[in-house]
Structure 1
Amino acid sequence: MTLIVAAASPFHGHVQPVLTVASDLVRRGHEVVVLTGSRFAEDVRAAGALHVSLPPAADFDDRQLDLYFPDRAAFPPGPAQLEYDLKHVFGDPTAAQYRALRTLLARRFPASVVISDPLFLGATALSLSAPPGRRPVTIGLGITMPTLLSEDAPPIGLAMPPLVGEGAKKRHRAMNDEVREVFSGAQRHIEENFGESGTELPGFVLDCLVTAPDHYLQLTVPEFEYPRGDLPASFRFVGPLPAVPRPPRPLPDWWAEVEHTERPVVVVTQGSFDNRDLGRLVRPAVDALADEDVLVVAATGRPDGPAVIEAAGAVPANARIGGYVPFDALLPHASVLVTNGGYGGVHEALRHGVPLVVGGDGEDKPEVAARVRWSGAGVDLRTGDPSPAEVRDAVLAVLAGPGYRERAQALRAAFERHDALEAVAEVVEAASGPLPTATAS
């Protein structure tokens, strides 16, 4: 048995992948403590792990970011908001996270392995606090695109595929220099945060997120990520995590139509979190396809979703609106998924070989959409507020020929050649042993 600390920034999209890993490690007989936000205590216990809340300086409710970070709304999605988030949402909690980790390891739970999402910067500080062998083995889970700068691909934030041809590497390097300049203020701010924890950031923060851990396990396959010849030896593609088991829910009364229709089934969703304004993607998609020979299933991800959609206007005859619809049952019937582009949700669709139409902004969504386009598995709408006409044209393009589905199914086959949970377990079980005493100071 190995003692493991799993640390996650208090965001639903960060906590759930960590809990999937934690639950599997518990099943394998390991003992796991999850250090994360207080609101996730019940979820952690359901995974079979022990929950430890982050200290108040690092804890917040991701459903009310404007309450905790009132200045954030002034920064539009894109580089400006990313810089703000790096500074304040993820950077400012660094020292408090690090102290909480050190205290947990020294006084309560002498783990030999620490697993974290990349933006839990307290774990990055732990990786930098001492050489391997004098601290726990650290594992970074690549829950979104790798942030490491490369001469083989543009930096994140531009949502563009790699350039090709003569001069491509030179142009990528120039873009990297521009990004370092744009984020120079964030770099200084985060260096100060690391200084408060008694550690030193050895390079550009977006690089260190990937290079600092002893192992960095990227939760996708090479076929979905831009090729890079300069990845560190610690970096490994392990494939996506399996879908999160969910409690059984009753199927909607129109479910038989999904199972038996001969029309293409177009599934529309804004996920289970970024769905406060269903007028951004769900309603435009429902309206866009009203006159097409398809069955539209809108999975709103909220119990009042059907009422919200109906309040916005008459629901077309070919549309079925649900609150929580089980995707593991729905996606095998889908011909295309229209989504705002969360990393996990896109991989869930591709696990079923379903091509995509992606329309999202904010966080990592434009980068996910760009990779969907680059991989050939779908269409990138390049906006989080598409018009009905834009959605309709994209869906019809995906349905028009086999190319998108063939690429989605090729990615599904690539997924099947990997086992992310087994890869994590291999690293964990190779690092068994008590916490070195040097860390427990």
Structure 2
Amino acid sequence: MRVLVAVLPFAGHVAPMQALVRELTARGHDVRVYTGSAYRSRFEDAGASVLVWRMAPDFDEHALERTFPQLRGKKGPRQLLANVEHLFIRSAAGQAQDLLAEWRSEPWDMLLSETTSVGAALAAERTTAPWVSVAITPLSLPSTALPPSGLGIRPGRGPVGRFRDRALRVVSRALTRRLRTALDETRATAGLGPSPVPFEAAGFSPTLILATGSRSLDYRRPDPPPHLHYVGTLGVFAGTPHPQWWAEVEHATAPVVHVTQGTQNLNPDDLLRPALEALADEPVLVVASSGVAGHDRLPFPVPENVRVAGLLPHAELLPRTSVMITNGGWGGTLAALSSGVPLILAGGDLDKPEVAARVGWSGAGIDLRTGTPDARQISAAFRRIRSDPSFRAAAKAVGRELGEGGGVPRAVDLIEQVETPDPGESPSAASGA
């Protein structure tokens, strides 16, 4: 097949899609990737050709405010709404313009996109190739029986809980009216009419949805679509070098605790500082990540039992890890659970509260219910998770289920089962493309 893969240029989005691209090219498919210039080499290394954002505003994920000043000063739910409106929705017309120009130049047999790539969804409506979407964040597909996704709220129980969830869905529609307006305006710019689906479902394919994670990390849905498949974890970045002190991890006799704030919202005072303070007197080796390659120091003194690196080789670190303290990045969370590592989560922004709530619901970790915990809260959670074996047992159970999802090979098997145009024929653009 000729496959066009659309990926927003964020580290957490790129890693799972890169794994799919690598498998597709290994199976002989011709893959083009549409993403930001910062990740050109990542996908070229995976065997794909790369089309970078042109009409869409290419951006630096570590300095979003330079390109999207509307995000400046936003935190928590306000940050989530601003990101969805300006970064995901209003940039989508430019993305669609780029993709449709590529389609006219050289059509593809299949479009594969991650679910925050709204521009790919718009392009899919104006081309004739089938479209597959990959949920690289917690599955946010709307449900008639669950609270709105993204708020970090678990489903209610009993009649009162169901009434609360129904009320939350009504309130959510009112609070997100601006996002629906933004989507319809963006669709008009792209030459399309009003959205035929709720904006929460705009990035989900009607043909095939591949959801990272597992059923135990998604609330029980009474209405899952038949084309939804949970595929476990799709991998993390490979090739991260070992820090100079790596031998201390390999030969550690004390438990290893990994502390990370992921790769977004990297103010170390939010989680790194209080976590390192909480663990300073514990008989553990603390391995902390700053979240930026090459940034191997923190802007404050660290305790003697702490080692710091910008990024870390998770595939080798996590099997040696006793507990992970994290802001709840989905990729890192899935990687930890795949290794049976229980979690302490401080999810404060974007999809992080949702991740923390789902892990807490599964029993595989503790949701601190804040993105800025103090040392006392972290210390109490750490001692609880170390003394209660149920957390590790639940983490191992979730890890087994993630493994049963099949990962990259099963995801690509499902992609290959989608009916596509005859490879010998050149698909023609739909009317208006």
| CA deviation profile, 1:386-436 (whole Å, cap 9, x unmatched) | 111111111111101211000000011111212132233223323343453
Residue number in structure 2 paired with 1:436? 427
Asked if the contact 1:150–1:176 (Cα under 8 Å) also holds between the matched residues in 2, the reply is no
| CA deviation profile, 1:214-255 (whole Å, cap 9, x unmatched) | 2111011101111101122222212111233225x24533x4
Return the letter of the residue paired with 1:148: L
Change (3 A) 1:371 1:342: same
Shift, 1:70, TM fit: 1.4
Q: 1:223 aligns with which of 193, 209, 216?
A: 216
| CA deviation profile, 1:260-287 (whole Å, cap 9, x unmatched) | 444322111122x237422321222111
Superposed, 1:17-416 pairs within 5 Å as 17-78=16-77, 80-108=78-106, 110-129=107-126, 135-200=128-193, 201-210=195-204, 212-247=205-240, 249-253=241-245, 255-271=246-262, 273-274=263-264, 276-302=266-292, 305-308=295-298, 312-313=300-301, 315-416=302-403
Instruction: Specify every segment of 5 or more residues in structure 2 that has no aligned partner in the other structure, as ranges.
Output: none
| CA deviation profile, 1:362-391 (whole Å, cap 9, x unmatched) | 211111011111010111112222111111
Query: Which piece of structure 1 moves more, 405-414 or 65-74?
Result: 65-74
Change (3 A) 1:258 1:154: same
- Taking the aligned partners of 1:371 and 1:378, their CA distance within structure 2 comes to 9
Return the letter of the residue paired with 1:104: E
Identity of aligned residues (%): 34
Change (3 A) 1:100 1:306: closer
Asked if the contact 1:58–1:96 (Cα under 8 Å) also holds between the matched residues in 2, the reply is yes
| CA deviation profile, 1:98-141 (whole Å, cap 9, x unmatched) | 22222212212x211101111211221233346xxxx1110110
- Taking the aligned partners of 1:42 and 1:261, their CA distance within structure 2 comes to 35
Return the letter of the residue paired with 2:357: A
Change (3 A) 1:403 1:186: same
- Taking the aligned partners of 1:181 and 1:203, their CA distance within structure 2 comes to 16
Return the letter of the residue paired with 1:268: V
CA RMSD of aligned residues (A): 2.1
Change (3 A) 1:373 1:307: same
Change (3 A) 1:307 1:245: closer
Residue number in structure 2 paired with 1:427? 414
Change (3 A) 1:292 1:75: closer
Asked if the contact 1:90–1:121 (Cα under 8 Å) also holds between the matched residues in 2, the reply is yes
| CA deviation profile, 1:77-99 (whole Å, cap 9, x unmatched) | 21x22222222111112222222
Shift, 1:347, TM fit: 0.4
Asked if the contact 1:180–1:204 (Cα under 8 Å) also holds between the matched residues in 2, the reply is no
Asked if the contact 1:241–1:420 (Cα under 8 Å) also holds between the matched residues in 2, the reply is yes
- Taking the aligned partners of 1:105 and 1:427, their CA distance within structure 2 comes to 24
Tell me the number of residue pairs that the alignment of Structure 1 and Structure 2 aligns: 427
Shift, 1:76, TM fit: 2.8
Change (3 A) 1:31 1:345: same
Question: Helix, strand or coil for the counterpart of 2:202?
Answer: helix
Question: Helix, strand or coil for the counterpart of 1:51?
Answer: strand
Return the letter of the residue paired with 1:252: Q
Asked if the contact 1:284–1:391 (Cα under 8 Å) also holds between the matched residues in 2, the reply is yes
Query: Which piece of structure 1 moves more, 56-65 or 88-97?
Result: 56-65
Question: Helix, strand or coil for the counterpart of 2:134?
Answer: strand
Shift, 1:12, TM fit: 2.5
TM-score by length of 1: 0.91
Asked if the contact 2:242–2:313 (Cα under 8 Å) also holds between the matched residues in 1, the reply is no
